[in-house]
């Protein structure tokens, strides 16, 4: 296999990984703070893509504006489901929140298909030729997607690391009882969490819609990949989620060069298996004592 194909596959995997890092981060944050695997993540992404299509079709918004609008709308929807569903189940066992999130996923997707039907839509974006550096091809769309994802990820990491609100989030994630005993308002942390989750899923769905096509199964189909990547990186660690999905994306694309496209997903899970054999807690995960 020549090195050009490997580099091109690597670039492709990186772009895919950066894009999916947005929902992966949302999954890991919910798992770390609200403590359940949020199955609705995929369908929040789908919603983002459809909102962007609607904003372009009915509102005549530009590409960037429709992306912003989609992110914010999904943020609001995410808050709505927090207040309506997940807040009431906060003290219940993990399974009840997990099942509820499956319900939310179905509700979101069925609402979309009720209004938009099952056929495909497209987010209008200009089709431009790739930049060609001696055979290394970079698609401009991919470059914009990667930059947008990096900016969004950086913002959230700065928020988590350098602001008082971020410190509170980490405190709640670490130990909710201790956090509330030391006067941290857990409600406010939750509102911020679900807003970030919605915005990130909306943005991820929008970028995905620009790259691929907008269909009702858009986000849901990626859920397995995202969950696997989160486990790979170490559940509940934000940086782990990003690294995990990048490893996953790159190994999937480069692997497909060697074993054929039919086995690319198998390759990605093989990498997952190998990493977990060496580090069962994930790349960045900490071993926690069970309470």
Partner 1 sequence: MSQTINTGRRQFTLASAAAGVASVLPFWARAQAGTPKGEPIKIGVLTSMTGTGGVYGPGMLQAMRLAVDEVNAAGGASGRALQLFNEDDQTRPDAAVLAARKLVDISKVDVIAGVWSSSVALAILPITNGAGIMMLNTSGSPDLKTEDKLDLVWQYQAANDVFGKAFAQIARQRGFKNPAVMAFNNSTFVGQANYFRKAWEEGGGKVAAYVIYEPNQTTYRTELGRVLASKPDVIALSSYTPDATIILKEWYQNGQPCKFIMPGWSANENLIKALGTEATEGIIAVSNVAATDHPTFKHFDTAFRKLTGREPDVFAAECYDMIISYALAVEAAGPNADLKTINTKMRTVTNAPGTKVTGFSQGRDLLRKGEKIDYDGASSTLEFGAAGDAVPDFGVFEILGGKLVAKEVISGTI
Q: How far is the CB of 203 from partner 1 (least distance, A)?
A: 15
Smallest gap, in angstroms, from Cβ of residue 236 to partner 1? 25
Segment 22 to 81, residues that bind partner 1, using CB under 8 A: none
**Alpha carbons 36 and 100: distance in angstroms, whole number:** 10
Residues 229-258 that bind partner 1 (CB under 8 A): 253, 256-257
Compute the Cα dihedral for 83, 217, 244, 152 and give only its sign.
negative
Q: Which helix (H) or strand (E) holds 53?
A: helix 41-59
Q: Report the alpha-carbon distance of residue 34 to residue 29 in Å, rounded.
A: 8
Q: How far apart are CA 66 and CA 50, in angstroms?
A: 10
Burial class (CB in 10 A: 0-12, 13-18, 19+), 30: buried
Using CB under 8 A, which of 35, 170, 211, 279 touches partner 1? 211
Options 24-32, 52-60, 117-125, 156-164: segment touching partner 1 (CB under 8 A): 117-125
Among 95, 127, 181, 287, binds partner 1 (CB under 8 A): 127
Q: Which residues contact 9 (CB under 8 A, 6 or more apart)?
A: 250, 253, 254, 256, 257
Residue 131 backbone dihedrals phi, psi, to 5 degrees: -80, 130
Choose between 115 and 277: whose C-beta lies nearer to partner 1.
Answer: 115
**Separation of alpha carbons 131 and 181, rounded Å:** 56
Size of the site for partner 1 (CB under 8 A): 43
- CB nearer to partner 1: give 118 or 291: 118
| Binding to partner 1, residues 128-157 (CB under 8 A) | 128-130, 132, 137, 139-141
From the list 57-65, 70-78, 120-128, 165-173, the region that binds partner 1 by CB under 8 A is 120-128
Residue 9 binds partner 1 (CB under 8 A): yes
How many angstroms separate the Cα of 172 from the Cα of each of 58, 187, 268? 41, 10, 33
Assess 95 for contact with partner 1 (CB under 8 A): no
Binding region for partner 1 (CB under 8 A): 5, 8-9, 12, 15-16, 19, 106, 109-110, 113-114, 118-120, 122, 127-130, 132, 137, 139-141, 208, 211-213, 215-217, 220-222, 253, 256-257, 260-262, 264-265
């Amino acid at each position: 296999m020549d090195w050009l194909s490997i580099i091109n596959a690597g670039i492709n995997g990186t772009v895919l990984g950066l894009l999916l890092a947005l929902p992966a981060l949302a999954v890991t944050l919910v798992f770390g703070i609200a403590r359940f695997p949020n199955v609705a993540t995929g369908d929040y992404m789908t919603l983002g893509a459809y909102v962007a299509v609607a904003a372009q079709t009915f509102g005549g918004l530009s590409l960037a504006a429709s992306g912003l609008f989609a992110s914010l709308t999904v943020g609001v929807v995410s808050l709505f489901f927090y207040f309506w569903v997940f807040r009431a189940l906060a003290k219940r066992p993990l399974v009840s929140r997990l099942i509820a999130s499956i319900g939310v996923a179905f509700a979101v997707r069925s609402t979309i298909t009720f209004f938009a039907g099952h056929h495909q839509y497209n987010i209008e974006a200009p089709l431009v030729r790739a930049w060609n550096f001696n055979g290394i091809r970079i698609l401009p769309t991919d470059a914009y997607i990667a930059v947008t994802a990096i900016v969004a990820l950086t913002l959230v990491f700065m928020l988590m690391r350098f602001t008082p609100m971020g410190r509170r989030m980490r405190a709640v994630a670490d130990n909710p009882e201790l956090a509330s005993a030391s006067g941290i308002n857990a409600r406010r942390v939750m509102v911020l969490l679900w807003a970030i989750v919605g915005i990130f899923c909306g943005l991820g769905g929008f970028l995905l819609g620009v790259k691929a096509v907008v269909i009702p199964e858009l986000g849901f189909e990626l859920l397995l990949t995202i969950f696997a990547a989160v486990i790979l990186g170490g559940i509940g660690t934000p940086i782990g989620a990003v690294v995990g999905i990048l490893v996953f994306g790159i190994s999937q694309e480069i692997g497909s060069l060697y074993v054929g496209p039919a086995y690319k997903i198998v390759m990605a899970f093989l990498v997952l298996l190998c990493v977990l054999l060496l580090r069962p807690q994930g790349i960045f995960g900490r071993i926690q004592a069970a309470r």
